[in-house]
Amino acid sequence: MSDQTFLAPERAAEHVSSTEQRTLRVLLAGPRGFCAGVDRAIRVVEEALRRYGAPVYVRHEIVHNRTVVEGLEAKGAIFVEELDEVPADGHVVFSAHGVPKAVPAEAERRNLLYLDATCPLVSKVHREAERHFAGGGPEQRHILMIGHAGHPEVVGTMGQLPQGAVTLINDADEARSVQPEDPSRLAFITQTTLSVDDTAEIVDILRTRFPDIEGPRREDICYATTNRQEAVKAIAPESDLVIVIGSPNSSNSQRLREVAERSGARRALLVPKLADLDWSVLEGVETLGISAGASAPETLVQEMVVALSEHFVLQIEERIVKKENVSFRLPGPLATSAD
Ligand code: 0O3
Ligand code: SF4
C-alpha cells in the first residue's frame, strides 16, 4: 500500500471553527498499524493481480479496513462474501481471517484457482484445534474457543472441526456457566485479536473450574495484538484523548480503543480516517494519543498528523514499547518469485 493521499489543507480547514493556533502534544503509540499477517494478505492480492490480471476475487474484506479494500478495488480486486459469487474461471483469495474447511473444499469442487491469505498465526490456531480434536479418536478433547460470535476468524476456526466439537466462550460469564459433558477432557483456544487482560481473566476461570484443561501457555493472542495493546497502555494515562485509527468491523482496533479507555485515557475514539474526524472532540485536549489497528495503513496516521499540524503547533513524541521484526512468506503458489 504505497499510495499516499494527504488531505488538502483548505479541506481540513473546513473542519475547524477557530484559526487560533495552540500547542497540541501528540503521543504516537509504537508499534501501531500493519502487522505481518495483514502485510502478507495485501501482498497476496497484489501479487495475484500482477500474475493473473484483473479481476481477482477476494472472499470477504482481505482485512477489515475500507481504505485497504478500496485501494485494492481500484487495482482490480472484486470483494465478495461467498464463493458462489465467483465465476467458474475466477481466481479467488481467502481473507487474512481464515475460512472454514468447507470453503476450500467448495473451491476445489468447483475447480476454482484459490489462494489462501489466512495469517499463519491464525492457521496455527486451526492446527491446535485439530490436534485437540485428534481426528475424533480416543484422545479427543472438547474445545472451548474464547472469541466473539460471528467474527470471521471465529467462524473459520470453529469450521476446522465438525459441528459440536467446539463451544464458543464469548466472555467471563460464559466461562463461569459453561457445562461441558466431560470436564476432564477439555482444551481451549482463542481468537488472535482479543483483549489480553479480558482473556487472562477468562482463562483463569476456565483453568480453575477445569484443572485438566489443555491449552496454550497463556492464550493464542498474537504478537501484534499484544504489542499494540501494550503500546496504547503506555500512552493512555497521559492522554486526554486517544484516537485509534481503524474500521468499526476491525476487532483488534476496537480492542485498542477499549484498552486506551481502561488504561486511563480520559476518552478514546475509533476513527476510520481523517474525513471521519469530528474536530470538536479536540476541544480542551492538550495531549492526544494516536494509535492504529493492525489493518490500518500508516498513510492514514500520517494524513491525520498532517491535518493536525495545519491547526495546532504540534509537539510529537513517538513512544515505541517494542521493535517488531516479523514478516511472513507468501503462500505456496506465489512464494517462489515474489518473496
Ligand atoms: O480480526 P480483526 O477484526 O481484528 O481483523 P483486521 O482488522 O482485518 O486485522 C487483521 C487481523 C486478522 C486478520 C485476524 O487476526
Ligand atoms: Fe496475524 Fe496477528 Fe495480524 Fe491477525 S493481528 S493477521 S494473527 S499477525
The x, y and z cell numbers of residue 168, run together, are 464458543
- From first CA to last CA, the distance across the chain in angstroms is 16
Calculate how far, in angstroms, residue 126's C-alpha sits from the geometric centre of ligand 2: 14
Residue 177, exposed/middle/buried by CB under 10 A (0-12, 13-18, 19+)? exposed
Sheet containing 166-169: give its strands across: 166-169, 142-146, 186-190
Q: With a 6 A CB cut-off, is 193 part of the ligand 2 pocket?
A: yes
Structure confidence by residue, pLDDT tens digits, 123-132: 999 999 999 9
CA pair distance 49, 72, nearest whole angstrom = 9
d(CA 32, CA 334): 27
- Comma-separated ranges of CATH 3.40.50.11270 domains in the chain: 36-119
Give yes or no for residue 4 having a pLDDT over 60. Answer: no
Predicted confidence at residue 19, as pLDDT, reads 52
Residues facing 77 on adjacent strands: 56
**Strands, E, within the chain: which ranges?**
22-30, 56-59, 77-80, 91-94, 113-116, 142-146, 166-169, 186-190, 241-245, 267-271, 287-292, 312-320
pLDDT tier at 336 (50, 70, 90 boundaries)? Answer: low
60 assigned binding-site residue: no
pLDDT band (50, 70, 90) for residue 332: confident
Is the CB of residue 43 less than 8 Å from the CB of residue 331? no
84-92 long-range CB contacts below 8 Å, 24 or more apart? 85/57, 86/57, 86/59, 86/112, 88/112, 90/55, 90/56, 90/57, 91/48, 91/52, 91/56, 91/57, 91/115, 92/56, 92/57, 92/58, 92/59
pLDDT, tens digit, 9 for 90 and up, residues 62-117: 999 999 999 999 999 999 999 999 999 999 999 999 999 999 999 999 999 999 99
Atom of ligand 1 nearest to the CA of 62: 8
| 89 Cα–ligand 2 center, Å | 30
Query: What CATH number was assigned to the domain covering residues 36-119?
Result: 3.40.50.11270
Q: What is the mean pLDDT of residues 161-167?
A: 98
CB distance 37 to ligand 2 below 6 Å: yes
Among the listed ranges 15-19, 43-47, 155-159, which one has the minimum average pLDDT value?
A: 15-19
What percent of the chain is modeled with pLDDT above 90?
91
| Interval 238-290: pLDDT, tens | 999 999 999 999 999 999 999 999 999 999 999 999 999 999 999 999 999 99
* Pocket of ligand 2 contains residue 65 by CB under 6 Å: no
The reply to whether 111 sits in an annotated binding site is: no
What's the chain's average pLDDT?
94
Instruction: For the beta carbon of residue 276, count every other beta carbon within 10 angstroms.
Output: 12
Quick one: which H or E segment has residue 41? helix 36-52
CA atoms within 13 A on the CB side of 96: 29
In the chain, list all ranges with CATH 3.40.1010.20.
Answer: 9-34+223-320, 121-209
Using alpha carbons only, give the angle 45, 190, 169 rounded to the nearest 5 degrees: 125
The set of catalytic residues is 153
Thinking of the domain 9-34+223-320, which architecture would CATH place it in? 3-Layer(aba) Sandwich (3.40)
For 267, list phi and psi in degrees, rounded to 5: -150, 150
- DSSP class of 138: T
Residue to mutate, 62, 121, 252, ligand 2, most ligand atoms under 8 Å from C-beta: 121
Sheet with strand 77-80: strands edge to edge: 77-80, 56-59, 91-94, 113-116
Q: Is 62 in the pocket of ligand 2 (CB under 6 A)?
A: no
What is the rounded average pLDDT of the residues 22-31?
98
Q: What is the dihedral of CA 128, 133, 135, 138, to 10 degrees?
A: 130
Output b/e per residue, 290-300; b: 16+ Cβ within 10 A.
bbbbbbbbebb
Nearest CA to ligand 2 atom 2: 222
The three cell numbers locating residue 101: 474447511
Lining ligand 1 with CB less than 6 A are 37-38, 63-64, 96-97, 119, 122, 153, 192-193, 250-253, 293-295
Chosen CATH of 121-209 out of 3.40.1010.20, 1.10.10.60, 3.40.50.970, 3.30.2290.10: 3.40.1010.20
